[in-house]
Chain A
Amino acid sequence: MSQQEKVEYKSLFAFKGNSESIIESLKDDLKKLEKQKKKDQIYNLKKDIIELKIEKEKFRLNRVVQKIQIIQKNQVEKKFDVQEFLRQLNTNRDVIFTQAKILRLEGELLELSKKNDDPNLLKDKKISQLIVIRNKIASSLKKIQEKKLIDLILSFNQGKTKLIIDDYIQNFNQKNLNIPPVRDFINQITSEYLELQDDTENQEDDVKIALENYIFPKIYKTCLEQVLTKEKDDIIFKKCCSFANIVQEQLHISPKIQSSELIPFIDAISFMKTLPFSSTPTDKLYTILNASQAIYNQISSRSPNITVGADDFVDVLNFVIIKAGISNLRTTISFINEFCDEDFLNTELGYYLVSVDLSANFIENLSADKLQKCSLNVINRNLIVFEPTKFKELASKTPYMKIQTETFILEGYQLYSIAEWNVNVIKFFSTFVYHTGNKEDKVKACIINFDSNTTESQQALINKMFFSFDIPELYLAELPEGNILISNSTSFTSDNQTLFLIPSGDFEQDQPLINLNLNLIRLVGNSEKNLIRKIEKIEDLEEKFRKDYQISKNIPINQAVNDLVLELQVSLQHLDLFPSISKIDGVLNDVTLLGIQGFKTRFLKNKGKQTQNKISYLNKRIDQELNFNLFSQIKNTLQNICSKLSNLGFSTDHNVIKEPSFLVELIKHFQVSSNIFPDGRLGIKTAEKIEELFAIKSKVKSKN
């Protein structure tokens, strides 16, 4: 053995000693902890963490000892590289898994200590960050391990396995009936791999899960098609929407386990809402398990010494599922049943799947008479809304809706507006609140009330308006004064959402600023995703706008933007590209963008990309849809037609943008004289007629 190798051999003993002393000190910690009198959830978590740390160190120690023995057996002849060995030791599967568990538990411990207001802990935000970081590392450790394994599997058999799997995926997606079911295929590859590959680190379940994670995302859509039961999904989803404002008591949840949170069982609902997002059956089963655990955690944080049997659990689960409002619940359950590992069905994972199945059936048949009768003050039909004028106007036209309180100030909340909802004509409102607990944060609201005798179709309208939002972070929370739309986070998981923070808490007072932000974002683009904009800070956008649209610094920004958008809307309306029922409001909403799209198709013969589907997203660069050139083109096109019209004898001296009615009248005259229905708009037929007559007139003129 060379000198170098001797040094390395000795260093193994040093590592062994180090690991042993770590274990000893951890055991001391454990002893100290066990002396504590108070044995609660925090104690249990701390104990679990130390035990896991000991376990992790033991894994390392075992490896070192094994290595030493091997070297001794081979009479210290075998060459080895300590550095390489230590690297392996750190990537050892058991160590990684244990580390991931430790991180997760530490996250839980922090969360719990935060709830219990542990004075030893740092400030709230810092803790939240620590929890997030821990969870991220834990999940990436898991992913690294899986990635390593799937690479091994795919490269197995000189890469043939990858070809076989990819071929299977292709056949599956082409709905080829001559292939085995997915589960059989996964089992087959797993057994082949384990039989022929000398892989002692990974167990059967790990291989199956790695394969599942590789295959399912690629065939997910086809799998869903196979089990799709849209009708049932719709029934359940509609029921969830119509009972979205239900309270715990109505679902028979016993008082001893009712949650006193602002949004009861928020953690469980949050987990459940993510159910459609995972694409493997095992992930979905774990999502359900996590949601169920969150229910127990919530109950135990309030009543620490309680047994929650199925009798109690199912009632809460019904509540959680209704509030989560999953649009394809029945299909999701069928997907898991059809494609999950059958071994799981007889376990805890299967138990909770069956519980969800039971809930889905219960909700499907749920009707108002099955709810527990509540005392009147419990049923809350009030809604707290933050765009009073809009709602007052609606209430004045809607018999089943009335204003309960004209002005209501909500303390301890910040007001946000979802930018995309502002420009989406289907969305009636765009605001929600975020709980800060700071009394200085105030939001101006009004309270509306729904008549208890609303008909089914009226109810459907209400549901569509208030209870169907496709953003998982939004919830309807119950306050004593009424229900409010609230978010548990200001960072949304779905892409392409821009949030406006309204510091004044008064939506209507700040409406002009909100509109200015919306317009500027659409005019110059907004490259950042998931952005929270403080509406009063627009310097960045303003500078770009002035440059791109050649606007002098002397003109106030509000006026410049407003004039530009108004001119655009009026021009589009003259060109019959902006519906007459839509308001010319100076806001670049989706209707305006559709008009621009129509302009491109009609005048620029741009039939390429359809932009309709991305219109609602503000933060995609709008170069393709809107820029200074396009503005000029629209303006010029209108001017061009107007001058031809004038050439034909229909002229006006008025400004057609500022006083549009003069041009409308003029066009009507022209239409009547040309036997076209006089709608006052330069539609295709009218414009063509103008062109035709202008061409004839020009010919005649040139002949003369």
Chain B
Amino acid sequence: MTFVTPNASKIVILGDSGVGKTSLALRFTHNEFHDLELSTVGAKCFTKSVHVADKDVHFSIWDTAGQERFQSLAPIYYRNSRAAIIVYDITQKKSFHEAERWVDEMKRHGDEDLVIALIGNKSDLNEYREVKMKVAQEYALKNNLIFLETSAKTGEHVEDLFMKIAEMLPSVHAKIPENLDHNFGIVSISKLEEKEKRKEKKNCC
């Protein structure tokens, strides 16, 4: 079955509509930018592997609908994700505020070990910039996020983004026997920890 990528880590791309979520995924997975030149490409979950720390990390990258009317339904998308890429358009301030809202939501509702990246896309349109890099950088630092400015059009920093995410994924660092499903391992460990914490809490009370 061609559809199955074994043990792929799910990455969800969030952000206001029109910030370039699909283009970013396309640039990374197919190294192409659709600027009205090729045939129609559909939204889907893209797959790609990178090699980090002597391991092959498989990604299953999920494009999402960013319109306001679907916001309350976003948990359906980000269920079981290992990482979230929150994208804004550096030429649109509104999209940055939207990104901040997404960061809050993911911090509150995402898994504890969820890797979050804040991405200012369309860095090739610097002359129209509305969001200062410094502001976004400080915000990212404060919130412990990966931060990069990318251009899906030129490909700038797109590969770096996914490499960084791969490096940050707990499964990459965890020392788990090779023949064991690493995702499964991590989930079990974090669940065990959670249980322990709950027990402690109960004991406190």
Q: Which residues of chain A from 7 to 53 have any CB-CB distance to chain B below 8 Å in the complex?
A: 40-41, 44
Chain A hits for B182, CB < 8 A? none
Chain A hits for B36, CB < 8 A? 305-306
Chain A hits for B76, CB < 8 A? 354, 357-358, 361
Whether the pair B65, A358 counts as a contact (CB closer than 8 A) is yes
The reply to whether the CB of B43 lies closer than 8 angstroms to some CB of chain A is yes
Q: How far is the CA of A300 from the CA of B36 in the complex (A)?
A: 12
Chain A hits for B64, CB < 8 A? 310
CB distance from B56 to the nearest CB of A (A): 16
Q: Which residues of chain A from 158 to 200 have any CB-CB distance to chain B below 8 Å in the complex?
A: none
Q: How far is the CA of A336 from the CA of B47 in the complex (A)?
A: 22
The reply to whether the CB of B69 lies closer than 8 angstroms to some CB of chain A is yes
Chain A 294-308 near chain B by CB (<8 Å), digits 1 or 0: 011001100111111
Whether the pair B63, A309 counts as a contact (CB closer than 8 A) is yes
- Chain A residue nearest to B41 (CB atoms) is A307
- Chain A residue nearest to B26 (CB atoms) is A307
The reply to whether the CB of B17 lies closer than 8 angstroms to some CB of chain A is yes
Provide 18 A-B residue pairs closer than 8 Å at the C-beta atoms, listed in order of the A residue: A304-B39, A305-B36, A305-B38, A305-B39, A306-B34, A307-B41, A309-B23, A309-B43, A309-B63, A310-B65, A311-B43, A311-B67, A314-B43, A344-B4, A347-B5, A358-B65, A361-B73, A362-B70
Q: How far is the CA of A41 from the CA of B39 in the complex (A)?
A: 8
Residues in chain B within 8 A of chain A (CB atoms): 1, 3-5, 8, 10, 17-18, 21-23, 26, 34, 36-45, 47, 60, 62-67, 69-70, 73, 76-77, 79-80
Our pick among B41, B42, B77 for the contact of A358 (Cβ within 8 Å) is B77
Whether the pair A314, B65 counts as a contact (CB closer than 8 A) is yes
Whether the pair A307, B3 counts as a contact (CB closer than 8 A) is no
Whether the pair B37, A305 counts as a contact (CB closer than 8 A) is yes
Whether the pair A296, B1 counts as a contact (CB closer than 8 A) is no
Chain B hits for A218, CB < 8 A? none
Whether the pair B1, A205 counts as a contact (CB closer than 8 A) is yes
Q: How far is the CA of A195 from the CA of B44 in the complex (A)?
A: 35
Whether the pair B43, A308 counts as a contact (CB closer than 8 A) is yes
Whether the pair B39, A347 counts as a contact (CB closer than 8 A) is no
Our pick among B22, B47, B65, B69 for the contact of A307 (Cβ within 8 Å) is B22
CB distance from A202 to the nearest CB of B (A): 12
Given A348-B44, A351-B44, the answer on whether A314 and B5 have CB atoms closer than 8 Å is no
Our pick among A308, A354, A357, A370 for the contact of B42 (Cβ within 8 Å) is A308
Chain B hits for A346, CB < 8 A? 5, 8, 10, 45, 60, 80
Q: How far is the CA of A373 from the CA of B34 in the complex (A)?
A: 31
Residues in chain A within 8 A of chain B (CB atoms): 40-41, 44, 205, 252, 292-293, 295-296, 299-300, 303-315, 343-344, 346-352, 354, 357-358, 361-362, 370
Chain A hits for B34, CB < 8 A? 305-307
Q: How far is the CA of A303 from the CA of B36 in the complex (A)?
A: 10
Chain B hits for A313, CB < 8 A? 42-43, 65
Our pick among B40, B73, B77 for the contact of A304 (Cβ within 8 Å) is B40
CB distance from A455 to the nearest CB of B (A): 26
Whether the pair B42, A292 counts as a contact (CB closer than 8 A) is yes
Whether the pair B66, A311 counts as a contact (CB closer than 8 A) is yes
Chain B hits for A350, CB < 8 A? 45
Given A252-B67, A305-B40, A308-B40, the answer on whether A348 and B3 have CB atoms closer than 8 Å is yes
Q: How far is the CA of A313 from the CA of B23 in the complex (A)?
A: 14
- Chain B residue nearest to A299 (CB atoms) is B40
Q: How far is the CA of A350 from the CA of B3 in the complex (A)?
A: 10
Q: How far is the CA of A362 from the CA of B4 in the complex (A)?
A: 28
Whether the pair A351, B39 counts as a contact (CB closer than 8 A) is no
Whether the pair B43, A358 counts as a contact (CB closer than 8 A) is no
Q: How far is the CA of A350 from the CA of B60 in the complex (A)?
A: 11
- Chain B residue nearest to A343 (CB atoms) is B4
- Chain B residue nearest to A203 (CB atoms) is B1
Q: A310-B66, A348-B45, A361-B73 are in contact. List 19 more A-B contacts (CB 8 A).
A: A41-B39, A44-B39, A205-B1, A305-B40, A306-B34, A307-B23, A308-B41, A310-B22, A311-B17, A311-B66, A313-B43, A315-B65, A315-B67, A346-B10, A347-B3, A347-B8, A351-B62, A352-B44, A354-B77
Q: How far is the CA of A305 from the CA of B38 in the complex (A)?
A: 5
CB distance from A534 to the nearest CB of B (A): 43
Q: How far is the CA of A344 from the CA of B1 in the complex (A)?
A: 10
Highest count of chain A CB atoms <10 Å: which of B18, B60, B70, B77: B70
Whether the pair A310, B5 counts as a contact (CB closer than 8 A) is no
CB distance from B58 to the nearest CB of A (A): 10
Whether the pair A362, B69 counts as a contact (CB closer than 8 A) is yes
- Chain B residue nearest to A309 (CB atoms) is B22
Chain A hits for B10, CB < 8 A? 346
Q: How far is the CA of A370 from the CA of B71 in the complex (A)?
A: 13
Q: How far is the CA of A205 from the CA of B1 in the complex (A)?
A: 7
CB distance from B114 to the nearest CB of A (A): 16
Q: How far is the CA of A315 from the CA of B65 in the complex (A)?
A: 9
- Chain A residue nearest to B18 (CB atoms) is A311
Chain B hits for A308, CB < 8 A? 22, 40-43
Whether the pair B69, A370 counts as a contact (CB closer than 8 A) is yes
CB distance from A105 to the nearest CB of B (A): 15
- Chain A residue nearest to B10 (CB atoms) is A346
Q: How far is the CA of A472 from the CA of B122 in the complex (A)?
A: 45
Q: How far is the CA of A545 from the CA of B114 in the complex (A)?
A: 76
Q: How far is the CA of A398 from the CA of B64 in the complex (A)?
A: 46
Chain B hits for A306, CB < 8 A? 34, 36, 40-41
CB distance from A330 to the nearest CB of B (A): 13
Chain B hits for A303, CB < 8 A? 40
CB distance from B181 to the nearest CB of A (A): 11
Q: How far is the CA of A654 from the CA of B4 in the complex (A)?
A: 82
CB distance from B25 to the nearest CB of A (A): 9
Whether the pair B43, A300 counts as a contact (CB closer than 8 A) is no
Chain B hits for A358, CB < 8 A? 65, 70, 73, 76-77
Q: How far is the CA of A292 from the CA of B43 in the complex (A)?
A: 9
Q: How far is the CA of A44 from the CA of B67 in the complex (A)?
A: 33
Q: How far is the CA of A349 from the CA of B10 in the complex (A)?
A: 14
